[in-house]
Amino acid sequence: QVQLVESGGGLVQAGGSLRLSCAASGLERSFSRYAVAWFRQTPGSEREFIVAFTRSGAITGYADPVQGRVTIARDNAKNTIYLQMNGRKPEDATVYSCAASGTAILSGLRTLGAYANWGDGNQVTVSS
Q: What is the pLDDT of residues 75-106, one digit of tens each?
A: 999 999 999 999 999 999 999 999 999 998 88
Q: What is the mean pLDDT of residues 36-63?
A: 90
E strands along 1-128, which residues?
A: 3-7, 10-13, 18-25, 35-41, 48-53, 59-60, 70-75, 80-85, 95-101, 117-118, 122-127
pLDDT of 128 higher than 90: no
DSSP assigned state of 46: -
pLDDT confidence of residue 48: 94
pLDDT confidence of residue 104: 84
Q: What is the mean pLDDT of residues 9-15?
A: 95
pLDDT confidence of residue 43: 84
Q: Which residues pair with 19 in a beta bridge?
A: 84
pLDDT of 62 higher than 90: no
Say what percent of the chain tops pLDDT 70: 100
